[in-house]
Structure 1
Amino acid sequence: MVHQEKRVYQAQRNERESIRQKLALGSFYDDEPVIYTSCSKNGPSSRLQSGVNLQVCFVNDSSSDKDSDAEDSRTETSLDTPLSPVSKQSSSLSDRDTAEEDSDPLDDCGGFWRVQRRLQEEARVALALARPMARMQVEVERQIQLHRRSPVADLLPHLPHISEGLMKRNLRQGDMRDMSLGQLQVITNDLHSQIQSLNEELVQLLLMRDELHVEQDAMLVDIEDLTRHAHSHQRHQAEKAMSK
């Protein structure tokens, strides 16, 4: 029973990896037309674009003043932060897609192929932005962790180098030899507190990872359903063209 479950799990994992590789290479969309019947205004590229703007704004500590006037709030649609070429491409794609949605109905044959090309471009942009955004988020969290003040700094104000060593998790043997038993006990308690905090953070991250895996599986299933729907739609269009 255990071996059978392992084989099923490995097969599902291989299938997910195959779909991800096809998406990354673009062959999944190039070989088979895809249509998204419920196109939302906030596509993957626009959501990732807003996430990149927020991350860059946070790293550079920049801020934008917002007026209370309703007309100004409608015109302010993006932060005044320089973006990478990929991000600029994503923004231009979103503007162009909005114009296409207003002018081309989905039922039109030409609109179908335009929607297909738009989805292909959005998927490629989303895949290109995923890795830089993840690295940026990790770097931001690492900087926050490095600049976090240790509680020992308040308990041992006359030993600033000890607090700095604790933040870097690196204490010299000579420093500990010169400290009293009470000071060592304070440092021990602080280390135990940090261990407990890191364990709780690890549990939360593992739970988040499991939720993201479930969400990823659901998205892959949606991609398969949309691909089947695109196949049937293409066959229907071909039959209509032949009947005419």
Structure 2
Amino acid sequence: MHLDAHGLTQEKIKSSGPTTAEPQLHAQKNERESIRQKLALGSFFDDGPGIYTSCSKSGKPSLSSRLQSGMNLQICFVNDSGSDKDSDADDSKTETSLDTPLSPMSKQSSSYSDRDTTEEESESLDDMDFLTRQRKLQAEAKMALAMAKPMAKMQVEVEKQNRKKSPVADLLPHMPHISECLMKRSLKPTDLRDMTIGQLQVIVNDLHSQIESLNEELVQLLLIRDELHTEQDAMLVDIEDLTR
């Protein structure tokens, strides 16, 4: 006749009496509870079996289990602190890696600032050169205007001295004042009365030649005057542009 385990245990309890049945039931409950804990916490059984299995009959963990749990907590704390140090080191590395590519930018910005300062210095030098050039041109213009009138008078005197003498002086050597009068265009009627027709004809021809030469000289001087007026207008325009 076959009986199950539960029936055998019940018969054993009945045969043993009321005094021994209660401790056995309590031990069975503890074993079942420990089995349930092992099944429920199977994933943590490999890491710390002593924490969950080393329980005394009273349900409190033993000294070895408590020491083991304390060591496990210390190991966890050490691992956490090490991971924090590693994370700090990684952060410092990332910060240095982020700072490293910024160094060319800082160099570029410094080069831009140096370029700006050089451009400002060149602009200031250009302004100084412009002002010095303006002052120099103004001084030269004032000096030229002041020297224009005396230079013109000197030029007229030189031209008078270089002018050729009239041939009348050679034809009328006994009348030297006639040549001077012809040069000054101031002949008197008394001088003409004393002359012959031939002498008067020489004087007339000389006057015609002088008129032609003077006309040619006048044309050349007018052309020179036009050129000088053009240069003067250009200089006045330049001076006006510089004074703005």
TM normalised by structure 2 equals 0.43
Greater percentage in helix:
2
Say which structure, 1 or 2, has more relative contact order (CA 8 Å, 6+ apart). Answer: 1
Q: TM-score, normalised by structure 1?
A: 0.43
Greater Rg by CA = 2
